[in-house]
Homo-oligomer: A and B are copies of this chain.
Amino acid sequence: VTTDIRADTRPLRADARRNLERILASARALFAERGPGAQMEDIAAHAGVGIGTLYRRFPTKEALVTELVRERFQEFGVIAAECEGIEGPYDALATMMRRHGEAVEDDVAFQLAMMNLNEFEWEGIEQDKAALNAVVARIIERAQSAGEVRADLRAEDYGMMMCGITATMHFMGRSHEWRRHLDLILAGLKPS
């Protein structure tokens, strides 16, 4: 089995491939500009395709959002890999969390998905999530071995903590305070 949506299909026809890329670019642009309320019709128009073409690639709006979230998770993986190279074990974890927060700071569509509203569809992301999770687990374990982080912290806690920090970006419109929230969390990770 594979979770790549295109793995077991013929490659797209050249024009269809172009259309798909334009759809994704337009979706990124309009979601960033207008938030998750950006309309399917507008995304299609912005991409220069009919609404039917958009629905041919993505059966629902949520499926389109899922694809964008998947891309973001791949970016998370890159960031995590970079942070694994940081010398201080605690520093590596702290920097990763901060950089993951920064990566998401302006992406309202992602933030809502992360908070899992209307039972967000995680299928198709599991593979990317697992890859990220492996790096996160190594970074956490290294910090624990160095005695710089509580021994009972689990890799599965990471998503939960980032979910909480991400939610903070919405709270009463005070989007910058997530850094303070992160500081509080980080303080809680030190061994007691």
Contacts and interface: CB of A to CB of B under 8 A. Distances in A.
A174 interface: yes
B160 A119 contact: no
Given A115-B171, A118-B37, A171-B116, A160 B177 contact: yes
A186 interface: yes
Interface string A171-192: 1111001001100111111101
Contacts of A37: 118
A171 B110 CA distance: 13
Contact of A180 (B160, B186, B189): B160
A35 to B, nearest CB: 8
A24 interface: no
Per assembly, the copies of the chain total 2
Q: How large is the interface on A (under 10, 10 to 19, 20 to 34, 35 or more residues)?
A: 35 or more
A32 to B, nearest CB: 16
Contact of A157 (B122, B184, B186): B184
Nearest to A37: B118
A179 to B, nearest CB: 11
A135 interface: no
A49 interface: no
A168 interface: yes
Interface string A67-110: 00000000000000000000000000000000000000000000
Contacts of A189: 184, 187-188
